[in-house]
Structure formats: structure tokens, C-alpha cells
């Protein structure tokens, strides 16, 4: 193997490397491990993928860094810029829009005092509008980190947001 | 004969999340039955059932399987499309979260039928709960001898891997999905070659939707004749999940015979929200042209909706009441398509943005009747000549907006009524 040994393991932790190595037999190519690796790398790095992390992932999978960067920018769940400690995705697609999502977007703006995709002053949170999250029967809804919050009202949104650490 | 729900039979039975409980409820019988049949017979049974793909395009499932070459030097794959990103659609999530083994069973049957030893379930990245439940079910299935080297003691090998996407609608398009699975941008491929011959990792591949594979399980359990006996005619068969959302009293996923009418579906979910009047409905997800108040008796089936100028798509029914600004609703969908276009084809990349831009102008009150004409001239050029169906899909809502509501919009423009008063969903001051 090439330069694994010299790679900076503080950027792509050993635990991630071990998990990915365990997945290798599942796929006929190394390239197919890219999305699984990026998911784990992003989580380990606090929610976003810095240029250093991208290089570390590229190095680990022996892929060109430019290719990894392109993949990162293609997918909505990967972030190449800093995000808040918590990340809110508010669905504003049609079924949610019909049940008041636009009002909730305003509530989020008021709560955090920043615009979409900006980090709140206390670093606690960033929020974005998102496309349909497959929960239209419980619209309006939002995702906070990995969790769905459904059947929202402005009041519920305020409660949820204020309870975040 | 009364209609018996099968796809959702285990919803509300959490014991079915484990192999043991699933088996107690009759699970994995279909797989055992399939493994006693010759693979060709399984394909034939699915063909005979008339099962058409539940992912959007409605392609006959058995026929798709029969395109996979029997003798081939390379491995073959089953890919389950669990990307479910079509706005309005949430049926596959219900299936995966409540009855993962029903899906795994369908995957292994498909594998046996076409000679594939591996399934990848490509699930959208946001479905973290469903992915966890599937992973758990897969582990259980290995431990119980349902997966692995020796499926149910027959010597057939089958592995299933859950693979998470990362947020991109285009990865639901089957070749965009394959690109993504292989670790690249989800940009659809040039076809032919079709995935049945050159699919995942350059190998013959069957791609099926979650619900399609769940149907397969029941076809093998109860037979093609049972399946064929449900639905309006032999080209539109089987039980179907309808995901209904928007301005209705009880949004949710409902299982009915394929081809119930919109009116029946609406009745089943408690009618319109607060008894308001209907303005429009979308019968098959964001890509399906809108229908109106005069279209409530149309059977929600593949051919019937196509004849009505729309489509069944993913059977995601979005209901809009009389207070809805249809321009605003359509604009939201156009923004979605503009955001999700992968950018490879000029008509789709440029056209989706144009449509969103013009609709923004109209909706905000800055538009004129000339904008409506401009829109009408743009729409026909957005799809048709591109690599995948996203361009066509993006046309759907706008085309129907012009056809069904053109006169109304013109009248509103003439009288300077835009933006229409914003509908408020939450009663101000009401406790929640
Ligand atoms: C833009 C676009 C998005 C799609 N999204 C999905 C999806 O999320 N889930 C799905 O099953 N099929 C989706 N499809 C349809 C797939 O390309 C494919 O037809 C389907 O997975 C085949 O499975 P089936 O025959 O079982 O329906 C999409 C198609 C297009 C053009
Ligand atoms: S039609 Fe649109 S989404 Fe499909 S390949 Fe072309 S640019 Fe990409
Ligand atoms: S439209 Fe919001 S979850 Fe589907």
C-alpha cells in the first residue's frame, strides 16, 4: 500500500479507517467506499469536510483529491464549509409548504438571528431549507442532526430549537 | 372478495422486525417456495402476475428480469432503489421501517431468479432510521441462515449490503444511482447499454424499487393469479401503496387495489382538510402533471392516468385546497427540479432554471402576460432530448399549470392580483 502509514490519523481517525477496511469485501472497487467513508469522516470531523479531511480521505482510498472534492460538493449531505454544532434541515418542498413550512423558516431565522446556511453566533446551529425528506404525511417537518421532528408548529419549533445544547 | 392488505400487513406488528417474528407471521415461505422452483419459472411467475415497477416508470418487472443474460462470465447484481426522493413520496420508508424482511425476501428471490449473489440496497442518506432497521434485519438474516453462503440450506449464496446515499434526487434515477453506488457524482449514464447488461461495476444488474421487490415476495407466496386478480385490468395489477399528503384530514400511506379513484382515496383519508374545496391534485409525485376538480373519478393506475395526461409515477398524491396559489406551488416544484438537475444536458440545466425564474416573476407580482407566453415557449424544450427523464419530469407540473389554470393566471395577471395572499396554515394565537 502507498502512503497510508504517513497519513495524518488525527484527521481521519483510526476508528473510521478500521470501519471502512471492514467494508472493503462488500465492493469490487475501492472507489465504491467513497460515500461510506465521507459519511464517517464528516461525522468524526464535527459535521463538515475541510480541505485537509478531503485530502486524508483521498489518500486513504487512493483517489485523486479533486475527485473527492467534486463528490463532496455534489451531495447535499456533505459540507465543505463549517456548520453549526447542530444542523437543521427544514423541508420546504410542496407537501410541507402546503402545511406551513414557510412560516417555520421565518421562525428559525428569528431564533438564530442568522440567514440560511450561516452558523449562529454561539456556534450552536446552522439551518437550511431542504428538499422533500420523505415524511410528507407528517408535514411540516424538519431534521435535526439525524432525527426527524414531525407535525411541527411554530411553537414546537421554538421548543425544539431552544432545547439544543 | 374483500381486498386483503399484504404490503402493510406487518405494520403495527413490531415482532416482524426480527426473522423469528417475521417467520411466525408467514415470512420467508415465499423464498423457500421460489428456491424450489427453477429460476426461469420464478421469472415467468412474476411476468405472468403483470407486476409493473413501483418506482415511477411502471416497467414490467418480469420482462426487466428476463433481459439479464442467463450465461454471463461476470457476476450479476440486484440493486434495490430505496432512494425515495420524489417529493410527496414516503411509502418505501414505511415498508423499510416496519417490515424490512419483506424487502430482504424480495431481494433474495430476485437474486435467485436472475442468478445474482449480491444485492445492494441503495437508501437515501437522510433515512437514517430505516437504514439502521435494515442493517439490523440483515444481521439477523445472516444469523438465521436466510442470507449468506447457504440460503435456507439450499446451497444458494446471497449477500445483501445496505449502502447510504448522501442527498441528491438524481441518484434515484437508475443509472445516476449506479454512478453514485460506485463512488462518483450521481450523473445518469448514456443508454444503451442498459443496466440489465452493463449495470453496477460493469456487470448485469436488475434495479427495482422497494415496493416492487416487496410485491415479488407476495407473488411468490400467493401466486401470479392472485396478483393479477387485483386491479382494473391485466395491464394494471396488484395491491398498491398510495402516499397521500397536503390538504387532507389524515395524510398517510394507504394500501388499496391498484386503480382506486382519487375520490375513493380522499374519502379513505377523511376528506379535504377542514372540509375545504379541492383546487388541484398531483397523482404521482412532483413529476406528475396536476389534475383538477373534474378529474376525481380517474382510476389511479398506470394507463388510466397516462390517458388523462398525467402519470401514476410513485403514486404520491399531493392535495391542494382552494386557498392554494397554484403558481406558488408549481414554482416550488420548479425550484426543486432546477436544484436537482445534474447539469449534464443543456436543455434540462438551463430549462429548469428558466421555468423557475419566470414563475418567480409571475408569483411575486412582477410578471406580465408575456411571461406566461414565454413560459409556454420554454416548457416544450426542457425534456425529451436529454440523458434521463428528469427534464421530462420538470415539464410535468408547469405544463399542467398552463393547461389547467392558464386562463385563471392570465386573469389574475390582468388584474394585478399577484402575489396572492399567503395562505396561513397555523391559526395565529391558537395554542399548540
Ligand atoms: C429523476 C428520477 C428520479 C427517480 N427517483 C426514483 C426513486 O427515488 N426511487 C425509485 O424507486 N425510482 C426512481 N426513479 C425511477 C428509476 O429510474 C427506475 O425506473 C426504478 O428504480 C426502477 O424500478 P422499478 O421498475 O421497480 O420501478 C427515478 C427516475 C428519475 C428519472
Ligand atoms: S436530463 Fe437533467 S438530470 Fe438528467 S442527465 Fe440530463 S442534466 Fe442530468
Ligand atoms: S414535502 Fe416535506 S417531507 Fe415531503
pLDDT digits (tens, 9 = 90+) for B157-212: 999 999 999 999 999 999 999 999 999 999 999 999 999 999 999 999 999 999 99
What are B280-324's pLDDT values in tens digits? 999 999 999 999 999 999 999 999 999 999 999 999 999 999 999
Domain B326-414 has CATH 1.20.1440.230: yes
Q: Is residue A80 part of a domain?
A: no
B28 is written with which cell numbers? Answer: 420467508
Specify if A48 maps to a domain.
yes
What is the three-class DSSP state of B320? strand
- Verify that A13 and A69 share a domain, yes or no: yes
One digit per residue, the tens of pLDDT, for chain A of length 165 reads 444 445 567 799 999 999 999 999 999 999 999 999 999 999 999 999 999 999 999 999 999 999 999 999 999 999 999 999 999 999 999 999 999 999 999 999 999 999 999 999 999 999 999 999 999 999 999 999 999 999 999 999 999 999 999
Is the ipTM higher than 0.90? The answer is yes
Which architecture does CATH list for B239-321? Roll (3.10)
Q: Do residues A120 and A63 both lie within one domain?
A: no
* Whether residues A70 and A96 fall in one domain: no
B14-228 carries CATH number 3.40.50.11540: yes
A126 shares a domain with A153: yes
Pair A119, A143 in one domain? yes
Same domain, A69 and A95: no
The ligand 2 atom at the shortest distance from the C-alpha of residue B188 is 5
Question: Cβ(B401)–Cβ(B327) under 8 Å?
Answer: yes
The total number of structural domains that make up chain A = 2
Q: Does residue A46 belong to any structural domain of this protein?
A: yes
Ligand 2 midpoint to CA B174 (Å) = 12
Cα of B105 from ligand 2 centre, angstroms:
33
Q: Per the CB < 8 Å rule, is B87 touching A136?
A: yes
Are residue A96 and residue A151 in the same domain, yes or no? yes
Residues forming CATH 1.20.1440.230 domain(s) in chain B: 326-414
Where does chain B hold its CATH 3.40.50.11540 domain(s)?
Answer: 14-228
Residue range(s) occupied by CATH 3.10.20.600 in chain B: 239-321
The CATH number assigned to the domain holding A99 equals 3.40.30.10
| Inside any domain, residue A97 | yes
Q: How close, in Å, is residue B324 to chain A by CA atoms?
A: 8
Which pTM value belongs to this model? Answer: 0.97
Residues B128, A146 contacting (CB under 8 angstroms): yes
- Do A102 and A54 share a structural domain? no
- Minimum-distance CB partner of B184 among A71, A140, A146: A71
SS3 of B41, please? Answer: helix
Report whether residue B207 contacts ligand 1, using a CB cutoff of 6 Å: yes
Ligand 3 pocket test: pick from A98, A100, A128, A141 the residue with the most ligand atoms within 8 Å of its Cβ. A141
Residues of the domain holding A35 = 9-74
Strands of the sheet with B77-82, listed across from one edge = B159-164, B118-123, B77-82, B205-209
Of A76, A89, A153, the CB nearest to B426: A153
How many CA atoms, within 13 angstroms, populate the side-chain half-sphere of residue B403? 16
- Are residues A97 and A33 both part of a single domain? no
Amino acid at each position: 500500500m502507498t502512503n497510508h502509514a504517513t497519513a495524518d490519523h488525527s484527521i481521519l481517525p483510526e476508528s473510521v479507517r478500521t470501519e471502512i477496511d471492514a467494508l472493503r469485501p462488500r465492493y469490487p472497487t475501492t472507489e465504491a467506499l467513497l460515500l461510506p467513508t465521507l459519511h464517517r469522516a464528516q461525522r468524526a470531523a464535527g459535521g463538515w469536510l475541510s480541505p485537509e479531511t478531503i485530502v486524508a480521505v483521498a489518500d486513504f482510498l487512493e483517489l485523486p483529491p479533486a475527485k473527492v472534492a467534486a463528490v463532496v460538493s455534489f451531495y447535499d449531505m456533505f459540507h465543505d464549509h463549517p456548520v453549526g454544532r447542530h444542523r437543521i434541515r427544514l423541508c420546504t418542498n410542496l407537501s410541507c409548504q402546503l402545511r406551513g413550512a414557510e412560516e417555520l423558516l421565518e421562525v428559525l431565522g428569528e431564533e438564530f438571528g442568522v440567514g440560511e446556511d450561516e452558523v449562529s453566533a454561539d456556534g450552536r446551529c446552522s439551518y437550511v431549507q431542504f428538499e422533500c425528506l420523505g415524511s410528507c404525511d407528517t408535514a411540516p417537518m424538519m431534521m435535526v442532526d439525524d432525527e426527524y421532528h414531525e407535525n411541527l408548529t411554530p411553537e414546537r419549533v421554538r421548543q425544539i430549537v431552544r432545547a439544543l445544547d | 372478495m374483500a381486498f386483503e392488505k399484504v404490503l402493510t400487513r406487518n405494520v403495527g406488528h413490531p415482532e416482524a422486525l426480527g426473522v423469528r417474528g417475521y417467520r411466525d407471521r408467514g415470512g420467508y415461505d415465499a423464498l423457500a417456495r421460489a428456491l424450489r422452483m427453477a429460476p426461469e419459472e420464478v421469472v415467468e411467475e412474476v411476468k405472468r402476475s403483470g407486476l409493473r415497477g413501483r418506482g415511477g416508470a411502471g416497467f414490467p418487472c418480469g420482462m426487466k428480469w428476463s433481459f439479464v443474460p442467463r450465461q454471463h462470465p461476470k457476476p450479476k447484481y440486484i440493486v434495490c432503489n430505496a432512494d425515495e426522493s420524489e417529493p410527496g413520496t414516503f411509502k418505501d420508508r414505511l415498508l423499510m421501517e416496519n417490515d424490512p424482511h419483506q424487502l430482504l425476501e424480495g431481494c433474495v428471490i430476485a437474486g435467485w431468479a436472475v442468478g445474482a449473489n449480491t444485492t445492494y440496497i441503495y437508501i437515501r442518506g437522510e433515512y437514517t432510521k430505516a437504514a439502521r432497521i435494515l442493517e439490523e434485519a440483515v444481521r439477523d438474516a445472516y444469523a438465521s441462515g436466510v442470507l449468506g453462503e447457504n440460503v435456507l440450506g439450499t446451497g444458494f449464496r446471497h449477500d445483501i449490503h445496505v449502502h447510504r446515499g448522501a442527498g441528491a434526487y438524481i441518484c434515484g434515477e437508475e443509472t445516476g444511482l449506479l454512478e453514485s453506488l460506485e463512488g462518483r457524482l450521481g450523473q445518469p449514464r448514456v443508454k444503451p447499454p442498459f443496466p440489465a447488461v452493463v449495470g453496477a461495476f460493469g456487470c448485469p444488474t436488475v434495479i427495482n424499487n422497494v415496493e416492487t421487490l416487496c410485491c415479488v415476495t407476495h407473488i411468490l407466496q400467493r401466486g401470479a393469479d392472485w396478483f393479477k386478480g387485483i386491479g382494473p385490468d391485466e395491464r394494471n395489477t396488484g395491491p398498491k401503496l398510495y402516499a397521500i399528503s397536503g390538504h387532507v384530514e389524515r395524510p398517510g400511506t394507504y394500501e388499496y387495489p391498484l386503480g382506486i379513484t382519487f375520490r375513493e382515496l380522499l374519502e379513505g383519508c377523511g376528506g379535504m382538510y377542514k372540509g375545504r374545496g379541492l383546487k388541484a391534485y398531483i397523482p404521482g409525485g412532483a413529476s406528475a402533471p396536476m389534475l383538477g376538480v373534474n378529474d376525481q373519478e380517474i382510476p389511479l393506475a398506470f394507463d388510466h392516468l397516462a390517458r388523462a395526461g398525467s402519470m401514476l409515477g410513485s403514486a404520491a398524491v399531493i392535495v391542494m385546497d382552494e386557498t392554494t396559489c397554484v403558481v406558488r406551488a408549481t414554482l416550488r416544484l420548479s425550484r426543486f427540479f432546477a436544484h436537482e438537475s445534474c447539469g449534464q444536458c443543456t436543455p434540462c440545466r438551463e430549462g429548469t432554471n428558466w421555468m423557475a425564474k419566470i414563475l418567480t416573476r409571475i408569483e411575486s407580482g412582477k410578471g406580465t402576460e408575456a411571461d406566461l407566453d414565454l413560459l409556454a415557449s420554454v416548457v416544450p424544450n426542457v425534456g425529451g432530448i436529454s440523458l434521463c427523464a428528469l427534464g421530462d419530469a420538470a415539464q410535468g407540473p408547469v405544463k399542467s399549470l398552463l393547461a389547467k389554470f392558464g386562463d385563471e393566471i392570465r386573469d389574475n395577471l390582468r388584474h394585478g392580483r399577484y402575489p396572492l395572499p399567503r395562505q396561513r396554515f397555523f391559526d395565529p394565537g391558537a395554542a399548540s
